Chain A
Amino acid sequence: MERSHFLAKLIGPVCIAGGLGMLFNTTTYRAMFERALHDHMLIYLSGVIALTIGLAIVILHNDWKWQWPLIITVFGWLAVVGGVLRMIAPQVVESYGLSLLGTPNFFIIDGGVAVLLGVLLSYFGYLDPPQLSHARRSRSRRRR
């Protein structure tokens, strides 16, 4: 649980910042993503980083219990799969990414989901530390 909180403290604010950027800076983000998708070297580099971060998460945190840390495990596996795909076939990522960018309201939906996830993770990471969770759990057990 300690590890879940620490990872939530790192991942949560990054999701919030990225999501807010997508929501409020759409024009720049569209230009940036189009430019990045045409550059295979950049896709490859982002794949190396995503795979490394994803592997670190799933090695340290492979928790599949039906609780909030599941978000982190899923995030880690998505980073692994996304990283492998980017490294093996950047051209597939390019065509798939460009078709995604073409869908209407892509940045609003994606940004909204990222902000929601980020707020949830930041809440659990920063405002619900392990000692507080343990205290709440033992209090509710005593009540029962």
Chain B
Amino acid sequence: MQQSLTIARLVGPVLAAIGVGMLANETAYRQMAAQFLSDYPFIYFSGILALVAGLYIINVHNIWTRDWRSLITAIGWIITCIGVFRILAPQFTVYVAGSIVAMSGLFIGAGIVLLTLGGFITFKGYVA
């Protein structure tokens, strides 16, 4: 349980901050995403960081119970898969993410999802 709380205290606020950023600063985020996707080295470095972070989470916390802790494990697996994908094929990341970023309401929708998820995990980590 202690391990879940520690990871929740780290992951929750980061997700919530990204969510708030997307909602409050959509134009800058769209420009940032376009710049990120035009540069393979950024995609590669972010892939290495994501893979290390994801592997860390699933190695210390591979819990699939019927409560909020499964969310942490799922986030770990998602980050690991994203990291592998970015390292193996940065050009496909550009292709996939480019079409996703082109959607008009993406940042509002993703911002709401991330803020809700991050807020919930932060609440579980710090308060509950």
The yes or no verdict on A and B being binding partners is yes
Which positions in A face B, CB cutoff 8 Å?
Answer: 6, 9-10, 13-14, 17-18, 20-21, 24-25, 28, 31-33, 35-36, 39, 42, 45-46, 49, 53
Chain A residue contacts of B41, Cβ below 8 A: 32-33, 35-36, 39, 42
- CB–CB B83/A17 < 8 A: yes
Categorize the interface residue count of chain B: 20 to 34
Q: CA–CA, A100 to B84, complex, Å?
A: 25
A77–B90 Cα distance when bound, in Å, is 28
Across the interface, do B51 and A49 meet the contact criterion of CB distance under 8 Å? no
Report whether B51 and A17 are in contact in the complex, using a CB–CB cutoff of 8 Å. yes
**CB within 8 Å for A45 and B55 given contacts A17-B88, A21-B88, A32-B90:** no
Please determine whether B45 and A6 come into contact, CB atoms closer than 8 angstroms.
no
CB-CB under 8 A from A33, the residues of chain B are 41
Q: Is the interface of A mostly helix, strand, loop or mixed?
A: helix
Contact of A10 among B40, B45, B59, B87 (CB under 8 A): B59
Residues 33-91 of B contacting A (Cβ, < 8 Å)? 39-42, 44-45, 47-49, 51-52, 55-56, 59, 83-84, 87-91
Q: How far is the CB of A90 from chain B (nearest CB, A)?
A: 13
Q: In the complex, A21 Cα to B48 Cα: how many Å?
A: 12
The 6 closest A-B pairs by CB, nearest first: A32-B40, A36-B41, A17-B87, A21-B88, A10-B55, A28-B91
Q: Which residues of A contact B55 (CB under 8 A)?
A: 9-10, 13-14
Report chain A residues within 8 Å CB of B91.
25, 28
Chain B nearest Cβ from A19, distance in angstroms: 10
Closest to A25 in B: B89
Give the chain B neighbours of A31 by CB distance below 8 A: 40
A6 touches B40 (CB 8 A): no
A17 touching B59 by the CB < 8 A rule?
Answer: no
Question: Beyond A10-B52, A14-B51, is A35–B88 a contact (Cβ under 8 Å)?
Answer: no
